Chains A and B, each alone.
Chain A
Amino acid sequence: MFLVTWGANGVLESGSFGGIADTIYSLFKGVMMVVYIGVAVAVVVVTVIIIIMRYYKMLGDEGYLWFTLPVTANQHISGKLIVATVWSIASFVVIVLSILILVARLGLLGTIGDGVRYITERGFHLTPWIIGILVLLLIQGIAGILEFYAAMSIGPHFTKSRLGGSVIGYIIIYVGTQILAAIGLPLMTFVLENMSSAASKLFFGDSLNSLEVLTEPSIFAAIDLIGIVVFVYTTALNVILCVACYILSHQMVNKKLNLG
C-alpha cells in the first residue's frame, strides 16, 4: 500500500513539469496539483490512522490474543511504537522525496542551490540546522504517537465507551501539551532577552556544532541562537512527554488492564 502511494506520487510529479502555454495542459497541471496534494494528505492521514488503529485494536477484542501471550507490556508498547515510528519516517521520506522531485522537474533546483550557497557563505550553518530540524521532528513525532497511546490507555478507564474515552483522553493530553508549549513562548523569549554574551558562550559552548555566535554578529547568529533555544526547549519538552506517556501507557496496561 505504501508503495502504491509512492508510485502515485511519482506519476503525479511527472505530470507537473513543463510550461507549455496550452489551456488544456494548464488545466491538467492544475488538476494534477490538486490530486498530488490530495495524495500527500492521504498518505499522512492513512499513516496516522494505521498507527492509531493498531494500538486501539490491541486494547479491544484482539487484546484477548495479545495479552494472553507471554509478552511483557514493555514489549507490546515499544514494539508498536517502533513500527509506528518506522511508518511515520517512511511517509515523511516519501513526501519529502516527492517534493524534491517536483522541485527538480520544475527546474528550481538550481535556484535553491544558489540560495543555499548564498546563505552558507554568510555564516549560516545549514547542516546543524537540518539535523536539528530532523531530530526535532523525529522526537515530536514519537511524542505524538505516544500521546495517542497514552490517551487510548487511560481514556477508557473513566468512561463506559472505549472510543469516547480514548477521544476524551486525547483531548486532555493535547490540551496539556498545548499549554506546556504556550508556556514555552514567553519562557524562551525571556531566556533570549536576558542572554548576555558571556552567558551565551557558556550555555551554547558545546551544543550542536561549533557556533561562533559571538565572533560573528550577523543576522544568522541571531537566528542560530533562536533556533537553539527553541530546539532545546521543544526537544526537552517532547522527551518528557514521551517518557510520561510511555510510563502512563505502561502502567495502565501492566497493572490496571481491564479488558472488556
Chain B
Amino acid sequence: MEAILETRNLTKRFGAFPALSDVNICIGSGRIVGLLGANGSGKTTLIKLANGLLTPTEGEILIGGVKPGTQTKRIVSYLPDRTYFDNWMKVKDCLKLFADFYEDFNIAKAGDMLLALGIDADKPFRSLSKGTKEKVQLVLVMSRSAHLYLLDEPIGGVDPAARDYILNTIIRNYNEEGTVIISTHLIADIEKVLDDVIFLMNGRVERVSSVDAIRAASGKSVDEVFREVIRCEVKF
C-alpha cells in the first residue's frame, strides 16, 4: 500500500525562522489522522507544502509518490483555515467552479448538503456569516472523492452543532481509498474520530502513534497526554 503522503527530511524556513525541521512521516490510505499541535507548531505549513502552496527549503514531500503539482492537486481536497472565494461570487457559482475544475466533484451531493445546512445557494459569499462561509467551503471539500483530504482547523470557529455535523460528515465520507488529515489544536473534540495522531511541536514531529495505543498505554485521553507533552517542553 503506497503512502498517500510521505515526507523525507522535510524542512521549511521563512527567512531564518524554521517552520518545519526534518520532518519524516508516512501516512497510508484509508486513515483519519489528526495533525495536532499548538498554534505556530507547523501544522498549516505542512499542509500548505502538501498542497504545493509552499515549496520546501530542504527535503521533499510526496503525494502518492509524486511531488506536489497539477497531478496531485487532482486527488487532494483542501480546506484552508481562511475563506478563499471572491466575495462577489454566489454560492452556486462556487459549486459550478468546483464542478468545472474537479472531475471527482459531486455537485448533487454538495447541493444536498447545503440544503441540509439551510444555506441558500443563490446568496453571494459576502452576505454569509463567517461560520456559514466555512460550512460552504467544507461542503465543497467533502463533496469531492479525493485520495487525500487536508482539513486545516475545520472546527475552529464553529458552533457545537456544526462541529458535530462536520465530524459526522467526515465519518460518513470515509472511504478506504481516502485519507483525511485534520489539523487542529482542539483535540478533545475529535479524538474519537481519529485513527492516528501526529504531534507537532516547534516544527518537529514529537510523536506519531495511534489513538488506541496512546490511551491503552497511558490510561488517558490523547488531549491529556498532549497537554503533558507540551508542559514538559515548556519546563525546559
Contacts and interface: CB of A to CB of B under 8 A. Distances in A.
Task: State if A and B touch, Cβ cutoff 8 Å.
Answer: yes
Interface of A: 57, 61-65, 67-72, 255-259
A251 B194 CA distance: 39
A65 B97 CA distance: 10
A72 B70 contact: yes
B55 interface: yes
B101 A70 contact: yes
Nearest to B152: A64
A67 B101 contact: no
Contact of B53 (A62, A68, A70, A71): A68
B80 interface: yes
Given A69-B73, A258-B54, A64 B101 contact: no
Contacts of A72: 70
Contact of B76 (A68, A255, A258): A68
Give chain B's interface residue range (CB within 8 Å of chain A): 20 to 34
B156 to A, nearest CB: 16
A70 B70 CA distance: 5
26 contacts: A61-B83, A62-B84, A62-B86, A64-B53, A64-B80, A64-B82, A65-B84, A67-B52, A68-B52, A68-B53, A68-B73, A68-B76, A69-B101, A69-B102, A70-B71, A70-B73, A70-B74, A70-B101, A71-B70, A71-B73, A72-B70, A255-B55, A257-B52, A257-B53, A257-B55, A258-B54
Contact of A68 (B55, B78, B82): B78
A69 B55 CA distance: 16
A259 B53 contact: yes
Contacts of A65: 84-85
B48 interface: yes
Contacts of A255: 55
Interface string B110-137: 0000000000000000000000000000
Most buried by B among A62, A64, A67: A64
B179 interface: no
B11 interface: no
Interface string B31-42: 000000000000
A80 B194 CA distance: 42
Interface in B49-83: 51-55, 70-71, 73-74, 76, 78, 80, 82-83
A71 B83 CA distance: 20
A257 B86 contact: no
A61 B80 CA distance: 10
Contact of A67 (B53, B74, B82, B83): B53
